[in-house]
Every structure is written in C-alpha cells, then in structure tokens.
Copies of this chain bind each other. A is one copy, B any other.
Amino acid sequence: MNISKRGLEIQESPIRKLKPFADKAQERGIHVFFINIGQPDIPTPQPVWEALKNYDEDVLSYGPAQGFLELRQAIADYFVAYSIPLTPENVIITIGGSEAIHFSFCVVADPGGEIIIPEPFYTNYNGYASSANVKIVPLTLSVEDGFRLPPAEEIEAKITPKTRAILLCSPNNPTGTVYTPEELERVISVVKKHDLFLIADEVYKEFVYDGASHKSILEYDEIKDRAIVVDSISKRFSCCGARIGAVITRNKDIFQSILKFAQARLCPPSIEQSIALAAYRMERDYFVPIREEYQKRRDVLYEGLKDIPGIVMHKPQGAFYIIVRLPIKDCEHFVRWMLTDFNLGNETVMVTPAQGFYSSSGKGKDEVRIAYVLKEQDLKRAIHVFKEGLSKYLSLFSK
C-alpha cells in the first residue's frame, strides 16, 4: 500500500511551497509585498461582474464537454480579430490553461514520451508531466542573452526517437521573453523536419510592450496540423480564479481526441463560462490602458533593480515576469530569510526562487523570478525593501 512513484516524485510547487513562511510573517504583523506569483491586482472588468449578477438559471446544470458554443465562438472571433481564421470547431473550453496543457500532453505523448521545453519554464508543466508520465526534456537558455532560443542544431540535439513535441511559451513565464518571428520559424522548421507537434502556451498574448505585437503559431499555415495552442482568460481579463481556458487546434483528429478527454471530466464550470463570455465581448481597447500599466511597472522594476551590483537580467518584452540572477549561491535560502528574519519598518518582500523553473539539476539556484503585479507605488516600495534586504543578506552571508 505505497503511494505511486509519480505521486512521490511530483514536485511541490516551488511558487507555493514557501507560502507558509509568508503566512507566519503576516501573523507577526509584517506586511509582505507579494511579487512572487502571477496574481495581478488589476480589477476584474465590470462586464464580468455584471454577467455574474445577471446569471439566471433554475438549475446549475452540466454544459457541453467542449464548452458552450457562444464562448467557443467568442474565442474564435478574438483570434479572427488578429487575422487568424478560427471557428468554434477549433476551440475546446478547458478548466484553466492548466487543463489545456494536460490535454495537450496526453494527446501528443504516451507514457515515456518526450516533450522539449526551453528552460526556465512555467513550473507547473512539471506537475502535468508527472500525472501524464511524460518526460520534459529541457533546452537550457541563459539569462545573459535574454533567454533567446539557440540555433536549430542545438534544438535538434535534444530530439530522440521518443520526442513527440516542442512546447514554447511566448510571451514567456518566467522570463518575459517574446520570441521573434525568426525564432518561431526556426522551431517550425525543426518540428516539420522531425515530424513533431508544436504546443504553444500563448496566455500572455496581450501583454507585449514597446509597441511590439505577439505572433501566434496559428499564423503559420505550414504547421496547421501540428499546432496546438494553450489559452486562458486568467491573466488576460484578471480572472485567475475563474479557471477558464481553451485548447485550440485545427487538427481535426487532435480535436476529436481532446474532446474525449474532455468528456471524461464532463464539462468546465458553467457560471464561469458565462462570465468569460462577457469578458470576450468587451471592446478590444480594454487592453490598451492595462498594457500601458504593465509596461510602466516593468520599467519601474527594471530601472529599480539595475543598479544592484552583480545583478544579471534582461528587460522583458512581455508577460509580467523577470528572471534576475543575484550575487547569491542559494536564492531559496535568501527568499526564506526575507520572510523569516528580515523586515524594514515591518515590511518585507516575497519573490520566487527560480530553481523550480528549471528541470536541469542545479540550474537557477542563483536566480529569482519577480512578478510585476503590484501598482507603481507598491512596487517601488517593494523594490526598496527588496534591495535593503538583499544588502543586509549579503553582509550577513558573504559568498
């Protein structure tokens, strides 16, 4: 009567595992600035709350396994506005982007199958790899060059007979990198040459700065049948708690197979689908001030950190994260110390040790991920407290 191997080996969320130390700091009366998780403070838009108030049913009943048609249509329309021709027949509503990842893994790979993912990567991919028994093969990128993708040969060197897919996340969590068309095309040539699927996590699509725009893998007709896109309303509309995402594919066989996985779990939550519909029906200019707000926060954070001696980082082009190399050997120790032993005028800061975003052993120990999810004033204060803490820590624990 032992727990399964996968049940033992599945990683604890590195984002959440230090949370108890933050809870204890708060119990001691210390204000903690949380720039560790991607929980934006942007208010959920008013039409969403109105849809909630107007929800009117007698029976909260099951919906279709693939999600409500109106919502699938609204998501298709959203992409059509980006000149990506989609219909509801390409969209399956999932329970968060999380489930879209899970379905994608299950449908492209059997147990033991391999999926190549540039690291550092969104740590929860590991959890889904564990439950689907898929092996993530990391393609290690580096903070020095802003986590750009390597030449095709280096990607191809990771391919084995068990490789089933490459997964890209752009704009990237945790690095903030947005892949250029040239980088996407490099990966596309590799998946075509080696007959692989290409999974793209594009949930941060709207969060691209400096006037640049995001290019979706759905724009490449040559990989029409290979492309699987993971999408979500969580960040796009500040609806993290709604758990509504989508998996998007033009490959009919993939669609039909994912539909069967979807049927097994019956349906996505009904109320939350109706509020997602309200979100998608908003005018597209909703994003303009939000994008500006995040860009400003990024600038505040980047400018605020850059005079730290020994720091290595690159200005993110999208999403709301940055990976920062610190002059510290064990950032997990530092992050915990900030919560247990440090405060400045009863304030401290929580960031995330980056090690959990790497699957290569030992990588990322000297890096942290910071999420710029607080409003400017709070973020500035958080940066100040962070720098003071770092300086104190370095004076106590010399390298």
Q: Which chain B residues lie closer than 8 Å to A124 at the CB level?
A: 263-266
A110 CA / B131 CA spacing, docked (Å): 9
- Return A362 CB to nearest CB of chain B, in Å: 22
- Stoichiometry, as copies per complex, reads 2
A253 CA / B1 CA spacing, docked (Å): 11
CB within 8 Å of B: which A27-82 residues: 37, 39-44, 48, 52-53, 55, 57-63, 65
A254 CA / B7 CA spacing, docked (Å): 8
Chain B residue at smallest Cβ distance from A52: B55
Instruction: Find out whether the CB atom of B260 lies under 8 angstroms from the CB atom of A12.
Output: yes
A254 CA / B130 CA spacing, docked (Å): 16
Chain B residue at smallest Cβ distance from A233: B60
A43: contacting residue among B58, B108, B253, B272, CB under 8 A: B58
Q: Which chain B residues lie closer than 8 Å to A335 at the CB level?
A: none
Query: What is the 8 Å Cβ interface bit string for chain A, positions 207-249, against chain B (1 contact, 0 not)?
Result: 0000000000000000001100000000000111111000000
- Return A166 CB to nearest CB of chain B, in Å: 12
Q: Does A201 reach chain B (CB closer than 8 Å)?
A: no
Report the stretch among A94-102, A295-303, A313-321, A376-384 that lies at the interface: A94-102
Q: Does A24 reach chain B (CB closer than 8 Å)?
A: no
Q: Does A392 reach chain B (CB closer than 8 Å)?
A: no
- Return A119 CB to nearest CB of chain B, in Å: 17
Instruction: Find out whether the CB atom of A61 lies under 8 angstroms from the CB atom of B39.
Output: yes
Chain B residue at smallest Cβ distance from A123: B264
Instruction: Find out whether the CB atom of A241 lies under 8 angstroms from the CB atom of B263.
Output: no
A150 CA / B316 CA spacing, docked (Å): 64
Q: Does A350 reach chain B (CB closer than 8 Å)?
A: no
Interface size class of A (residues with CB under 8 A): 35 or more
A128 CA / B272 CA spacing, docked (Å): 24
A11 CA / B226 CA spacing, docked (Å): 23
Instruction: Find out whether the CB atom of B241 lies under 8 angstroms from the CB atom of A62.
Output: yes
Q: Does A270 reach chain B (CB closer than 8 Å)?
A: yes
Q: Does A371 reach chain B (CB closer than 8 Å)?
A: no
Chain A residues close to B by CB (< 8 Å): 1, 3-8, 10-13, 16, 37, 39-44, 48, 52-53, 55, 57-63, 65, 95-96, 98-99, 102, 106-111, 113, 124, 126-128, 130-133, 164, 195-197, 225-226, 238-243, 253-254, 257-258, 260-261, 263-272, 275
26 interchain pairs, CB-CB under 8 A? A1-B197, A4-B106, A6-B106, A6-B110, A10-B257, A10-B260, A11-B260, A12-B260, A13-B263, A16-B65, A39-B62, A40-B59, A41-B59, A52-B55, A60-B239, A61-B241, A98-B266, A111-B133, A124-B266, A131-B261, A131-B264, A242-B269, A242-B270, A243-B267, A243-B269, A269-B269
Contacts A63-B241, A111-B133, A124-B264 known; list 10 others, CB within 8 Å: A4-B107, A7-B106, A7-B107, A8-B257, A13-B263, A44-B60, A124-B266, A127-B260, A127-B264, A131-B261
